[in-house]
Amino acid sequence: MDFLEIEWNSNLYRQEIELRDRLLRAPLGLSFTSEELEEESAEFHFVLVENGEVCACAVIVPICNDEVKLRQMAVTEHRQRQGLGTNLIRQIESTLVKRGIQKIQLNAREKAIPFYQRLGYQTVGDPFMEVGITHWKMHHHLVDC
């Protein structure tokens, strides 16, 4: 299992989009627009690859010098609950610490909250609606790790 930071619009990026579309968008009746994908050229794309297949992904958006937002976290269906999500987040966090990042924020779907809580992320404030489903804002201080 390889942990990679991949280039926007590369072959692996296109696999990342297929995974995100299947896991995060299609179930909600949504799809990516070309404008949304263009905007992602300024973001950082991290994946786990096994036998040439992207099994897990997450996107990191810079917020300021020492803070980022994690979005679009997904693990392929047949590999869920096998530690891949935990593995990917931990490797992203150690990469970000080396870049001087101290805090990660994210908007978690309600179903994913136990996953992030187990990794030390805490909910902040009240739930809100995004893409038609309930989300909670969560954050994690990497310096506290």
Between residues 48 and 100, which has the closer beta carbon with respect to ligand COA?
Answer: 48
Map the footprint of ligand COA across residues 82-141, applying CB under 6 A. Answer: 82-86, 108-109, 111-112, 114-115, 118
The CA distance from 82 to 70, in Å, is 21
The least CB distance from residue 143 to ligand COA, in Å, is: 23
Tell me the number of residues near ligand COA by CB under 6 A.
19
The least CB distance from residue 88 to ligand COA, in Å, is: 8
Question: Looking at 4-12, 46-54, 78-86, 125-133, which segment touches ligand COA (CB under 6 A)?
Answer: 78-86
Handedness of CA 82, 85, 86, 90 (dihedral sign): positive
110 Cα distance to chain centroid: 15
Torsion angle, CA of 73/78/80/85, rounded to 10 degrees?
-50
The least CB distance from residue 119 to ligand COA, in Å, is: 8
The least CB distance from residue 100 to ligand COA, in Å, is: 25
**Structure tokens belonging to residue 74:** 């997904």
CA angle 32, 37, 38 (to 5 degrees): 145
Between residues 83 and 127, which has the closer beta carbon with respect to ligand COA?
Answer: 83
Q: What is the largest CA-CA distance in the chain?
A: 41
Query: Using only C-alpha atoms, what is the Rg of the chain?
Result: 15
Which residues form the interface with ligand COA (CB under 6 A)?
A: 23-24, 73-75, 80-86, 108-109, 111-112, 114-115, 118
